[in-house]
Amino acid sequence: MAEHLKLKNPVNERPQAAWGSIATELAGSQTRFVKGERWTHRVIEKGDPEAPPLFLYHGVGGYAEPYARVLPALSRDFRVFAVDALYHGYSSKEPWDPANRTALQAAAYVDLIHALGYEKAIYEGESMGASIGFEIGMLYPESLDKLILNGYGRVATKRTEWKKQPFKGDLYELSRAAVLDPSYENVQKRLWWLVHDNDDMNDEMIRMRMKIWSEPEVNASLRRVFGVDGADPREAAKPWTEEEVKAKWKVKDTLVVYGTYNPQRGPDYGEYGADLIGAKFYEFKDCGHWPMWESPDEYVEALRSYLL
């Protein structure tokens, strides 16, 4: 099986109550729009311009702010860019092609790093962001320095038996309900899916998502992303097969991370996937789908232990 990453330093995880607001945590960061050759990208950035570039990509329906608790600490060693992915947040929304959605999102990453003057960068992606990262590895490996995949699942594996995980509802059904009516209750239920302990999802994040998902342009795009308007993208897009991955994968420096309580697929799937691509593996014991929000101190230490 995959080699397990060992942390270089012990972690004293701060309690959730110790963290400030998103604005407080991101104090000193810059939010701006970067115009690439094909798309416009919204980024939150911080760090020495001469430091190695590190790009952080969120999950489906998301935006850059869930990285608020880890971006400042990572910026001590890297030039960090938390990004609104294509079709999400305040980045570009066109062209929409459900069958090639992830490939276009991968191309958008390349468009962004080139616009910023980089030929390659370190990429970290969570959930959908991990799927984008995996697609980059398959299509544009030359654009990657190192790769971190947080909860990825873009491979049609032959194995069918996996450890049973907590059932927190159907993610797409919860998402569709919140897109159609971004009320506090609907958005809260959608965000509870992401964390192991519901109390870790605070009022600020719920209200931020209500605000962003209520924006007409964002809402219209997410209605396509979640199959409210048009075909379900999950049915249109075909995952890579194990044979294709083994024949094509060229990224030698990769880390796969998973939360113990990740809904649907758990860390056994993550470790299996890591072994498939020759990656290292790390498990966050007290987390669900959002370790960078639930255990940010441990998340920073895991990335630093791997990258430095």
pLDDT in tens, 6-24: 999 999 999 999 999 999 9
Distance CA 195, CA 198 (A): 6
Mean pLDDT of 171-176: 96
Work out the percent of the chain whose per-residue pLDDT is above 70: 100
Burial 235-261 (b: 16+ CB within 10 A, else e): eebeebeeeebeeebebeebbbbbbbb
pLDDT attached to residue 298: 98
56-74 pLDDT, tens digit per residue, is: 999 999 999 999 999 999 9
Confidence bin at 243 (pLDDT 50/70/90): very high
**For range 218-222, the mean pLDDT:** 98
- Residue 236, pLDDT > 80, answer no
Share of the chain above pLDDT 90, in %: 92
Q: 91-124: per-residue pLDDT in tens?
A: 999 999 999 999 999 999 999 999 999 999 999 9
The pTM assigned to this predicted structure is 0.97
Fold of the CATH domain 21-165+232-307: Rossmann fold (3.40.50)
Strands (E), the chain: 30-35, 40-46, 53-57, 79-83, 121-126, 144-150, 155-156, 240-241, 254-259, 280-284
Query: Which pLDDT does position 234 carry in this prediction?
Result: 80
How would residue 27 be classed by pLDDT, with cut points 50, 70 and 90? very high
Domain range list for the chain: 21-165+232-307
- Please report the pLDDT score of residue 231 as a whole number: 80
pLDDT at 154: 83
